Amino acid sequence: NSFFLLLYSLSPHTGLVGFEKMSLTCLTFLLSLICFQCCSRTMRKQMDKNLSFHKLVAYMIALMTAVHMIAHLLNVEWYNNSRQGVYDELSTALSNLADTDNTTYLNPIRTTDLIPTYFVFTTIAGLTGVIITLALILIITSSMEVIRRSYFEVFWYTHHLFIIFFAGLVFHGAGRIVRSQTTTDPPHNATFCKDRIQDWGRIPQCPVPQFAGGFPQTWMWVIGPMILYICERLLRLIRYMQHVTYRKIVMRPSKVLELQLVKSGFKMEVGQYVFLNCPSISQLEWHPFTMTSAPEEDFFSVHIRSAGDWTDKLIDIMKNLPEGAQGPKMGVDGPFGTASEDVFDYEVGMLVGAGIGVTPFASILKSIWYKFKDSNPKLRTRKIYFYWLCRETYAFEWFVDLLQGLEREMEERGLGDFLTYKLFLTGWDQNFVPYVGTHNDEDTDVITGLKQKTQYGRPMWDKEFEQVRKENPTSVVGTFLCGPAALATVLEKKCAKYSDMDPRKTKFYFNKENF
């Protein structure tokens, strides 16, 4: 179990919280310094699955903990029976071993009238075992998706029980109830002496056997990751103390808040995300948000959708601010890397965003716009396909100005084929249909004002992948998604289906944002 504890303490936790164990800073550093320089594309994709790895190791810890706990409970029962003389003469004799100071023994139950449950709750190993097991149960149960989505604060605070969990582990072995035979002079010949119990201590071959508890070793496995974690928290404290100013606060449709922030020395790459903390709401809660700004801009921005108590409170605070006033103190930690950073390493990119999941691709599209303002943009990527799926018509207003700017820029430069974008409205009011039909013949879309018309319903992914493969017969295509797990399953299967076995032909690689 110690091996899995080491993996768990090293595994970055980049889900909704993304804030425990070995630092995300370390992971981002490793990815940027090592992986992106020398690792294969497949290896880099595995590094992006750190959250899945974290969960798998946690499940294994839960399984090993259950086995460990059941084994100890059975041992306590057997120890007690042995002390009562239920078993053979040898086990009874070993249970009765003790010296003057009651230290040389094998059976940790030292009296014949002890209740096993009392033993569990009065020993160091038993008491710490109960505490860390309860902590683990709370951590696992509160990590269920239904709890995370509906009661994020419950998930957040109970997940910090890992501090109690690891502290309990360090002290768990201090009682040394697991004991083994030590060397005596002359040595005790167990094979020869097991049938000569009455001769123990009377003949040279059978001195009284000596036993001692094993040295606690858990701290050796967790001390390294804990030092890294403490350093990480100190670094985040420093980041938190750095001053953040508001450049712009904009309320978008569908209860979406756009914050444009400025922080000294802040540098980002496309598709990265930050953690935000608002002390006016909670001193302890940090929430991840993908940045929608481009590295070329002198600020960084996030779009925050109403999705729970914390976001609702932040939106309410910002809505009630006087015109031109600065918002409340905001702590910013990051930036941290994601799979979207890889987009410009592919010849062709397929970007799929669902609702607010468009945010990392807004950063990418902005960066493309800035790159093409340069007379000679240095891009390996020669084609981008962008798909945006929304349930509400108002949601398209978040970035429609960005798409209009890109549309104009590409036309002016004669690069209209570089960006192909398709907007899909997956839910709409039936009363809106006649209006759309009336204006369908206009040059621009009735919803977005773009030349590309909005499509209604969900994309036919087989048709889309077939078109991409046909237009790029010898290319490596990176498919990037920021959206629900169900859509991820579909796209991953399509990438496998439409990838050609011949390495000289079209190959699709699937990448998903993990939060």
Average the pLDDT over 109-127 and give the result: 82
Model confidence at 44: pLDDT above 70 = no
Note whether 466 and 392 are same-domain residues: yes
Question: Tens of pLDDT along 146-163?
Answer: 887 777 778 888 888 888
Note whether 321 and 358 are same-domain residues: no
* Residues above pLDDT 70, as percent of the chain: 81
Reduce the DSSP state of residue 56 to 3 states and report it: helix
Q: How many whole angstroms separate alpha carbon 306 and alpha carbon 296? A: 28
Residue pair 165/132 in contact by the 8 Å Cβ criterion? yes
Q: How many whole angstroms separate alpha carbon 153 and alpha carbon 138? A: 13
Domain of residue 81, residue span: 2-178+214-220
Q: How many whole angstroms separate alpha carbon 52 and alpha carbon 447? A: 38
* Residues forming a β-bridge with 444: none
Q: Which two tokens stand for residue 11?
A: 């595994």
Q: Is residue 186 part of a domain?
A: no
Q: How many whole angstroms separate alpha carbon 39 and alpha carbon 45? A: 10
Average the pLDDT over 497-513 and give the result: 84
Reduce the DSSP state of residue 487 to 3 states and report it: helix
pTM of the predicted protein model = 0.69
What total number of domains does the chain contain? 3
Note whether 358 and 485 are same-domain residues: yes
Closest CA to 54 of 94, 5, 103: 5
Looking at residue 435, its pLDDT comes to: 53
- SS3 string of 139-181? HHHHCCHHHHHHCHHHHHHHHCCHHHHHHHHHHHHHHCCCEEE
Looking at residue 375, its pLDDT comes to: 60
Note whether 64 and 105 are same-domain residues: yes
Note whether 397 and 464 are same-domain residues: yes
Question: Tens of pLDDT along 218-256?
Answer: 888 888 888 888 888 888 788 888 889 998 888 877 788
CATH of the domain at 270: 2.40.30.10
Neighbour order of strands in the sheet with 331-336: 287-290, 273-277, 331-336
Q: Is residue 366 part of a domain?
A: yes
Q: Is residue 232 part of a domain?
A: no
Q: Is residue 202 part of a domain?
A: no
Assign 134 a pLDDT band (cuts: 50, 70, 90). very high
Note whether 376 and 297 are same-domain residues: no
For 25, the enclosing helix (H) or strand (E) is: helix 24-30
Note whether 62 and 102 are same-domain residues: yes
Cα-only R_g, the chain: 31
Q: Is residue 318 part of a domain?
A: yes
Note whether 401 and 413 are same-domain residues: yes
Q: Which two tokens stand for residue 273?
A: 């995300």
Residue pair 301/7 in contact by the 8 Å Cβ criterion? no
Model confidence at 434: pLDDT above 80 = no
Closest CA to 330 of 339, 346, 319, 317: 317
Among 157, 187, 220, give the residue marking a domain's end: 220
What is the bridge-based pairing of β-strands 287-290 and 273-277?
Answer: antiparallel
Model confidence at 431: pLDDT above 60 = no
Q: Which two tokens stand for residue 65?
A: 């903990």
Average the pLDDT over 78-83 and give the result: 86
Looking at residue 442, its pLDDT comes to: 61
CATH of the domain at 482: 3.40.50.80
Note whether 344 and 329 are same-domain residues: no
Task: Give, in order, the Cα–Cα distances in Å from 438 to each of 312, 435, 447.
Answer: 38, 5, 13
Model confidence at 17: pLDDT above 50 = no
Q: What is the DSSP string of 271-335?
A: T-EEEEE-TTT-SS--EEEEB-S-TTSSSEEEEEE--SHHHHHHHHHHHTSPTT---S--EEEEE
Model confidence at 324: pLDDT above 80 = no
Question: Tens of pLDDT along 266-307?
Answer: 888 888 888 898 888 888 788 888 888 888 888 898 988 887
* Residues forming a β-bridge with 252: 256
Note whether 374 and 445 are same-domain residues: yes
Model confidence at 395: pLDDT above 70 = no
Q: Is residue 238 part of a domain?
A: no
Going by the DSSP 8-state scheme, the letter that residue 248 receives in this structure is E
Question: Is the alpha carbon torsion for 218, 219, 220, 224 positive or negative?
Answer: positive
Assign 138 a pLDDT band (cuts: 50, 70, 90). very high
Model confidence at 1: pLDDT above 80 = no
| Look-up of token digits 């701290």 | 219
Q: In the chain, how many H helices and how many E strands?
A: 19, 14
Question: Tens of pLDDT along 371-382?
Answer: 777 665 677 788
For 385, the enclosing helix (H) or strand (E) is: strand 383-390
- SS3 string of 347-362? CEEEEEEEHHHHHHHH
Note whether 19 and 130 are same-domain residues: yes
Q: How many whole angstroms separate alpha carbon 499 and alpha carbon 202? A: 79
Q: Is residue 457 part of a domain?
A: yes
Looking at residue 21, its pLDDT comes to: 37
Looking at residue 261, its pLDDT comes to: 92
Q: Is residue 300 part of a domain?
A: yes
Q: How many whole angstroms separate alpha carbon 345 and alpha carbon 269? A: 13
Q: How many whole angstroms separate alpha carbon 231 and alpha carbon 225? A: 10
Model confidence at 2: pLDDT above 70 = no
Model confidence at 412: pLDDT above 80 = no
Among 301, 336, 371, give the residue marking a domain's end: 336
Note whether 367 and 456 are same-domain residues: yes
**What's the whole-number average pLDDT of the chain?**
79
Q: How many whole angstroms separate alpha carbon 285 and alpha carbon 155? A: 11
